[in-house]
Structure formats: structure tokens, C-alpha cells
Amino acid sequence: MLVSIATALIGIVIIAMAIFDLLWTAFVEGAGPISLRIMILMGRLQKNLRTWFPSRRLIPWSGLSVILASLATWTGMLWIGWVFIFSSVPGAVVAGTNHHPVDLWQRIYFVGSTIFTLGIGDLLPHGHLFEILTDFCSASGFFVFGAALAYLVPVVSAATQKRAVAVYIWSLGHNPSDIIYRAWNGCDSADLANHFDALIPQLLTLGEMHLTYPVLHFFHSPKRAASAGANIAMLDEALSIIEFGIDSTCGVQAMRIHSVREAINQYVVTLAPVLRYVPSSGVPPVPSLDVLRLGGLPAKSQADYDKVISRQMERRQLLQRMIRMEGWTWEYIHPSSLCIAADPQRRIVTTNSSVESPVVAG
């Protein structure tokens, strides 16, 4: 009797853990304790895969693989839990033909068919208690798959919005200096203020989406233009140059700069549980202001800028981790070789062609 009770309790605990984690992940801010560990393990696995197979073709599958792993875990726990319950009494499940008790493998089959297909009648629950429990088993299967579907639909929508924010930032410029130079009208870069006003609510919304749907951390684009982490880091570096590297802050009000920075802060904070598992590659190098100075912008001395940026070390390391999580390196944010483009458009471009041919960071 004690063994039967203990077996049933183990099954109840496993089922409760699965449903609790699903409800937390799908309807409460942040990932459930089980889902969070799945995300961390999948993140490490994906990093190793990118090291072994250095191709960006695997990047688009990152988010989907985490969702499938979570769904498989919830389903597996549900399945195992009900097997424990239906194994608590030897005669809980019987054959439909002769009503003889079935073995463990047949109970596993019975639970699976009940969760996925409501059963086909070849195996039957024995006794009123287990007939009612069979109904609960079937209902739990419908609940898990329904809740998972309700979770998946907004995640896909959020992933689309994440790419849209990334492309918006990319349209402003392809590196921090380029963002400032494109907006320069000969006196200031005040036109950036309108874009900052538009980006602030988008960044805040994106941060809240990451908080509500943590699996969004793993939805990455193989295209540099649609990489949210890389482009948000690029925007933050542009803000640093505007605030600390250009005289009179380029005509952009300090309040707007601080508002954009705070929106980026909120976004990075939501990624913190995952970023701490991304290996650091040291302190990012301080960018040179020479290319802006050559473009006619009132850049401050490099020594003064270096001194201020050195106090941003911790923040820039977090941004670098965010970039590496998406499979990029700091070179894609601040290319080592920049020049003024020799065309009618005001652009600062890289002279290093390798930057345009992504290689996945290890």
C-alpha cells in the first residue's frame, strides 16, 4: 500500500511540476525554473554546434529548437507522471480483450495514446477511480498542447517585431560613426532626435516582450541587418560617441540620449540570465574618432574620449556578450578600417571586405 501511494505521489508531483512550469513560462513574466534550465542547456549546445559547424544557416533554428525542447520536456514529464500514477496499482490498466493486467510497456503505451489520441480501446482503465483519472489524463494533454499553442503564436509575432526594430536601427547607419555622419547637416545631427523618439517605445516594448517570452532570447537572424543584439549595441556605441566624443552633443538633447540609454538598459537587463553564460572575450576596444574628424565633425580629443569610455567598461562588456550570443563579434560593430564613401550618399563604410562576409563567433 505504501509503495502504491508513494508511486502515485511521485506521478502527481511530476505532473504538477510540468503544468506549473508551463503556466509560469506561458502566462507569467520570465521562464519557469525547468524552462530556464532548458534554455541554458540549449544555448550551450547551439554554441558548440556553431563552433563545430561555422555556418550561419543554423542561426534561424535556434529559437524553434528551444521551443521544441521545452514542449518535448513538458510532454515527457506529463507522460512519465501519468505512467507513475497508472503503475501505482498492478491492475489499473487491463487488456480490452481478456481484461488481464498489462505490463509496464503497455501502460506507457496506454498513457501516450490517452494523452495524444484519447485512446483507441485496445487497453482500458480498470475501476471507477482509474476511469476518472483517464479523463484527467486526456484533459491534461489537451491543456498542455493548447497552452503551448497560445504561447507560440505571440512569440512568433514578437520575433517579427524584434527583426523590425533591428532593421530600423540598421537603416540609420551600418556602424556607430555612420549613424552620426549620415545625420550630420554641417552643424549638428539633430535629425537623430526624431528617430530616437520613435525607437524609445519600440525598445521598451521589445524588452517587455523578452521578459514575457524568454524564448525570444534565442530567436536570431542570420542577416546582419536584422540582428537585434548587434544593432542595439551599435546604437548604444553611437550614443556614447554623441555624448562623450562630439562637442555640443551634435545638437541632440541630453534627455533624449539618456532616455534611449535607459530603454537599452531595460532590454539588456532582460537578457541578463542568459548573458552570464556567454563567455566574454575581454574589454571591447575603444573606437577611433579620426574618421568623424576627417568628415568635418567636431570630435573631441581621442585621449579625453578614451578616459570617459573606460568608465563604461562593464556596460560595453555586456553589449559584447549580447553580440556574441547572436553569433557576431565586435568587429561587426566597429570595423577596424573605416573611410568616407566616395559617392553622393553620406556614408562611412568599411574598407575591410571580410566584415561583409560573416564568420560565426566561437
pLDDT tens, position by position, for the chain (362 residues)?
Answer: 788 889 889 999 999 999 999 888 888 777 788 888 888 788 778 777 766 766 667 777 788 888 889 899 999 999 999 999 998 888 888 887 787 888 889 999 999 988 887 766 678 888 888 889 988 999 998 898 888 888 888 888 899 999 999 999 999 988 898 888 888 877 777 788 889 999 999 999 998 888 888 888 888 888 889 999 999 999 999 999 888 888 765 667 778 889 999 999 989 888 887 787 777 777 888 888 888 888 778 888 888 888 888 888 888 888 898 888 888 888 888 876 555 554 445 555 565 544 444 433 33
Backbone angles phi and psi of 246, in degrees to 5: -125, 135
Question: What was the pLDDT predicted at 325?
Answer: 83
C-beta separation of 18 from 78 below 8 A: yes
- What is the Cα–Cα distance from 279 to 43, expressed in whole angstroms? 12
pLDDT in tens, 98-135: 878 888 899 999 999 888 877 666 788 888 888 899 88
Question: What was the pLDDT predicted at 360?
Answer: 39
> Alpha-carbon torsion 2, 7, 8, 9, what sign?
positive
Question: What was the pLDDT predicted at 13?
Answer: 95
- What is the Cα–Cα distance from 287 to 345, expressed in whole angstroms? 23
C-beta separation of 14 from 81 below 8 A: yes
Question: What was the pLDDT predicted at 167?
Answer: 95
Question: What was the pLDDT predicted at 338?
Answer: 55
pLDDT in tens, 227-282: 999 999 999 999 998 888 887 656 677 788 899 999 999 898 888 877 877 777 77
Distances (CA, A) of 263 to 134, 208, 225, 235: 49, 10, 20, 11
The DSSP line for 276-333 is: TTSPP-SPPPPPPSHHHHHTT--BPPHHHHHHHHGGGHHHHHHHHHHHHHTT--GGGT
C-beta separation of 284 from 316 below 8 A: yes
Distances (CA, A) of 188 to 43, 169, 250, 290: 43, 19, 5, 17
